[in-house]
Structure 1
Amino acid sequence: MVSKVYIIDDDDISIYLTSLVLEEAGFANEICTYSSADDALADLSLTGPPPLPDVILLDLNMPVKNGWDFLDVLRPYEEALKGKLDVFILTSSIAVSDKEQSLDYPLVRGFLHKPLDEASLAYINRARKGHP
Structure 2
Amino acid sequence: MTKKLIWVIDDDIIYQIIVNKIIKKSEMFSAISKFKNGKDAIDDLQKSLGNTELLPDIILLDINMPIMDGWEFMEEMGLLKSVINKQINIYIVSSSIAVEDKNKSKTYPDILGYLSKPISTEDLIMIASNH
- Identify the TM-score tier after normalising by the shorter chain: 0.7 to 0.9
* Cα distance change on mapping 1:29 and 1:125 into 2, 3 Å: closer
In structure 2, give the amino acid aligned to 1:49: N
Unaligned stretches of 5+ in structure 1?
none
In structure 2, give the amino acid aligned to 1:47: L
Distance in 1 separating the partners of 2:120 and 2:99: 21
* Cα distance change on mapping 1:82 and 1:43 into 2, 3 Å: closer
TM-score (norm 2): 0.87
Matches within 5 A, 1:1-132: 2-45=3-46, 47-49=49-51, 51-78=54-81, 81=84, 84-125=87-128, 127-128=130-131
* Cα distance change on mapping 1:93 and 1:13 into 2, 3 Å: same
TM-score (norm 1): 0.86
In structure 1, give the amino acid aligned to 2:13: D
Kindly state the Cα deviation for residue 122 of structure 1 after the two structures are TM-superposed: 3.7
TM superposition outliers: structure 1 runs of 4+ over 3 Å = 77-83, 125-128
Secondary structure (helix, strand or coil) at the match of 1:44 reads helix
Q: Is the 8 A contact 2:9 2:62 kept in 1?
A: yes
Unaligned stretches of 5+ in structure 2?
none
Distance in 2 separating the partners of 1:104 and 1:19: 28
In structure 2, give the amino acid aligned to 1:36: N
Q: Is the 8 A contact 2:49 2:83 kept in 1?
A: no
In structure 2, give the amino acid aligned to 1:61: N
Give the length in aligned residue pairs: 128
Moved more, 71-80 or 97-106: 71-80
Alignment RMSD (CA, Å): 2.0
Distance in 1 separating the partners of 2:40 and 2:80: 18
Secondary structure (helix, strand or coil) at the match of 1:88 reads strand
Structure scoring higher RCO (CA < 8 A, sep ≥ 6) equals 2
Identical aligned pairs, as a percentage?
Answer: 32
